[in-house]
Amino acid sequence: MSIGPVVLSVAGDQFIESARVASIVWVGATTAGDTVSLRGRQATINVLLWKCRTDATHTYLGISFGAHGLPTPDGFRLEQISAGEVLVYLREA
């Protein structure tokens, strides 16, 4: 069962609790070449969770992490976004 979404719209937005991410969806009006990146919050590792670039002006791009989800033990943060919003659906929090 998915929980969410957690909505991230500005670089620096973050979710600070341990969670398993079920899926990530980037939505909104964009320009070709716009980018987004999401990282784990753990400062010592700084794991890149997802990075994407659009080739269109209306974005609906995403990824699903399957039945078990992607673990984010220290939460996650929106590192960079050109436009739109990122919706993060949680498997468990």
Q: Which residue numbers in the chain have pLDDT < 70?
A: 1-3, 43-45, 92-93
In the prediction, which pLDDT does 61 show? 85
Distance CA 64, CA 42 (A): 22
In the prediction, which pLDDT does 3 show? 67
pTM of the model: 0.88
Inter-residue long-range contacts of 43-50, CB under 8 Å, 24+ positions, other chains counted: 49/21, 49/24, 49/76, 50/24
